[in-house]
Amino acid sequence: MRLRIEQAVRAIPRGKVSTYGGVARVAGFPGAARQVAAALRRGFGLPWQRVLGAGGAIKLTGDSAIEQRLRLEAEGVRFRGRRVDMKAHEWKVGRRSRAKRSGK
């Protein structure tokens, strides 16, 4: 389980973000958001800053929250108040634009 979660986190491209629940779904474990958080605590070398709470909220506290925001801003991620602009930066797996689906 942990390895699949780590693979899903590593797959998030620079400048994109996902939620704990989104990573769990991609890894094949829907509903396992807490396990994603545990894997991030234990994982080494993961782009942990790209994983957020629902709605784009930073769930960390203190200096860790500040570091996460600074890392995301350095990657070009924009914020709307205290949350990431999910419409612009959410990593959507396996979704293609309408033009590509309709063959245009």
Residue 104 lies in a domain: no
* CATH code for the domain of 53: 1.10.10.10
Q: CA 78, 80, 84, 90: dihedral to nearest 10 degrees?
A: -80
pLDDT over 70 percentage in the chain: 89
Does the residue 27 lie in any domain? yes
User: Can you give the residue range of the structural domain that contains 54?
Assistant: 2-92
- How many Å is the Cα radius of gyration of the chain? 14
Domain count, the chain: 1
**pTM of the full structure:** 0.87
For the chain, what is the mean pLDDT? 92
Alpha-carbon distance 31 to 41, whole Å? 18
With beta carbons less than 8 A apart as the criterion, state whether 9 and 78 touch.
no
